[in-house]
Amino acid sequence: MMKFKHLGLVVALALATVQGAQAADASLLGSKLTPLGSDPSASSDGTIPAWTGGITSPPAGYVKGEDHIDPYADDKILFSITAENLAKHKDRLSAGQQAMFARHPQSYRMDIYPTRRSCSLPEAVYQATKENAKNAQLLNDGNNIGGARIGVPFPIPQSAIEIYWNHNFHWHGHRYHAKTSGAGVEPNGTITRIVREDWRYNFYADPEMSLDELENRQFDWMGIWTAPPRFNGAGFSMTNTIDQTVQPREGSMFRPDLRKIMRATPAAATYDGPLSTSAGLRQNDNMFLFSGAPDRYEWKIVGKREMYVPYNAYKASSTANDPADLMTPNHLNPDFLRYELHRVWVIEATGKPGIIMNYGRRTFYVDEDSWIFLEADLYDQQGELTRTQHAFIKNYYEAPACVFEFDVMHDLASGRYNVDHIKNEYGPADLDYDLRQRDFGSSALKRRIGR
C-alpha cells in the first residue's frame, strides 16, 4: 500500500483549489513558495534540504560547449537499494521501480546519493512564471491554455491537467540543438544503436514572441537519423501544436528508401502511433514521458510523496564514459546512475470510457522543483503494469536550466529497453543555438538531408 503525504503549503493550496476553495496567489512565489511554485522547506528529517536557489553559475573550469563538470562528483553513495532490502524502501519507490527489482532481482540496483536541489532558471523565466500565475487559464476543457508564455503556466496548480501543462512547458531555452544517441537493448545484450540530430525552435519560450503570435504553436522540431543503418538519412520536420485536439501535430517525413518527402499522419503523431526507430517500445505520445493530447484521459492528483527518483545525471551523460558500458543487458548500468530523495507530485491519467488506447492508465511522478515528469508507470487495458519509463535530468548551469537529459523505456514482460536523447557520445545540447523559423518545414528538411 503506497503511503502518501500532503507535504507543505503548496499541496494544501493545490488540493484546496481543486475544490474551488482558494485561488492561486502569485505573491506566494518567491516568498512562501520557490519562484517556480515548489515547497522551499526541508523535509521533516532534513534528508531533503531546503531549496536555496539551485545551481546558478558554472563550476570553476567549465568551458561552454564541452562536457558539464559534475558539481557533485565528490558525493558518496548513502546506501544502495537491491532486491534483498527492497521491503525496507518500497514506500519511497514507484510501482515501476518495484517491478524492475522483481523482474531483475540479481542485477537491478539503485544507488542513493545526498539530495541536491540543483534546479534553477533565469530570473526572467521566474518573472514570466509569476505573470502566468496571474493570467494563465485552461481552455477547451483543459486541452489548451491561454494567457501564458515562457515560464510554467500554473506554478500553483489547481488540477492534474495543469501539472501536465507545466511539464510540457518547462523551460529549456527556445533554440535547441543536440546530436543525441540511444539504443534498443535486448536481454542478451544485443544493442541496436540509434543516432539522431535534433533542432527545436520553441515559440512559447521565445522572449520576442507575443501571445497573439503563438498561433497554437508550441515548437518546431526537426530530426535526422544516421543510425541504425536502415534509418540513415531519414528525417522529420514537425510542428508540435498546443491544442492538439483542434490541430494535431503536423509535418513532413523524409523516407530515404523512396527518396521523397511524405506528410505525417496527424492522429498517429498526436496519440499512440508507433515511433519507428524504437522497435515497438515507444509511441509518439510518450516522447518526454508524455507529450501527446491529453483529451483521451481523465486526470487526477493522487497526492505528493517523498520518493527516490533519478536526478543530477551528470555521470550518465558524460562523454568520458563508453556508451556500451552504460547499456548493459536488462537495464542501464547502475554504476552510472544517481538517485536522490525528492518530493514529487503523483498524478494519474485514466482512459475515458469507450476510447481504446495502448495504455488504459498512466501514473506520472513529477519533480516539484522543475515540473518535469521523472517517471511514468504504464498499465494496459486490463490494469496490468506493462512498462515503466524513467527520465534523467540535470542543470545546464550555463543557462541555467533544468533539462530533460535522456530517458529509458522498460518493457517488463520481455526485459527489452530503449534509451533516447542521451548525450554521452556527442556532448551536451546547446540551448541557444543559431536557429530561425525558416530552418523548419519540408523545404528546410530537404536542404538538411542534402548536405
Instruction: Please give the domain boundaries of the chain with CATH numbers for all domains.
Output: 69-109+172-450 (2.50.20.10)
Of the candidates 394, 380, 387, 369, the residue with the CA atom closest to the CA atom of residue 317: 394
Question: 14 with 312: CB under 8 angstroms?
Answer: no
Angle, alpha carbons 283-417-391 (nearest 5°): 70
pLDDT band at 100 (very low <50, low <70, confident <90, very high): very high
pLDDT band at 7 (very low <50, low <70, confident <90, very high): very low
Mean pLDDT confidence for 40-62: 97
pLDDT band at 20 (very low <50, low <70, confident <90, very high): very low
Residue type (1 letter), 196: R
Lowest mean pLDDT among 6-10, 395-399, 414-418: 6-10
* DSSP-derived secondary structure letter, 449: H
Q: Is the pLDDT of residue 451 over 70?
A: no
Question: 33 with 40: CB under 8 angstroms?
Answer: yes
Mean pLDDT confidence for 363-378: 98
Question: 406 with 422: CB under 8 angstroms?
Answer: yes
- Dihedrals phi, psi of 344, to nearest 5 degrees: -130, 145
pLDDT at 350: 97
The pLDDT tens digits for 352-364 are: 999 888 999 999 9
The pLDDT tens digits for 112-148 are: 999 999 999 999 999 999 999 999 999 999 999 999 9
Question: 408 with 417: CB under 8 angstroms?
Answer: yes
Query: Who's near 359: CB < 8 A, 6+ residues apart?
Result: 272, 351, 378, 379, 380, 386
User: What average pLDDT does the chain have?
Assistant: 92
pLDDT band at 267 (very low <50, low <70, confident <90, very high): low
Question: 381 with 351: CB under 8 angstroms?
Answer: yes
Find where cell 522543483 sits.
Answer: 369
pLDDT at 431: 97
- Dihedrals phi, psi of 60, to nearest 5 degrees: -60, 135
The pLDDT tens digits for 181-236 are: 999 999 999 999 999 999 999 999 999 999 999 999 999 999 999 999 999 999 99
Of the candidates 397, 351, 401, the residue with the CA atom closest to the CA atom of residue 372: 401
Residue type (1 letter), 435: L
Cα 300 to Cα 298: distance, rounded to the nearest angstrom: 7
pLDDT at 262: 86
pLDDT at 268: 66
Q: Is the pLDDT of residue 368 over 70?
A: yes
Q: Is the pLDDT of residue 18 over 70?
A: no
- Dihedrals phi, psi of 363, to nearest 5 degrees: -110, 130
Question: 289 with 310: CB under 8 angstroms?
Answer: no
Q: What is the DSSP code string of 73-139? A: TTPPP-EEE-TTTHHHHGGGS-HHHHHHHHH-TTT--EEE----------HHHHHHHHHHHHH-EEE
22-26, 330-334, 420-424: which has the highest mean pLDDT? 330-334
Cα 409 to Cα 340: distance, rounded to the nearest angstrom: 20
Question: 303 with 313: CB under 8 angstroms?
Answer: no
pLDDT band at 450 (very low <50, low <70, confident <90, very high): confident
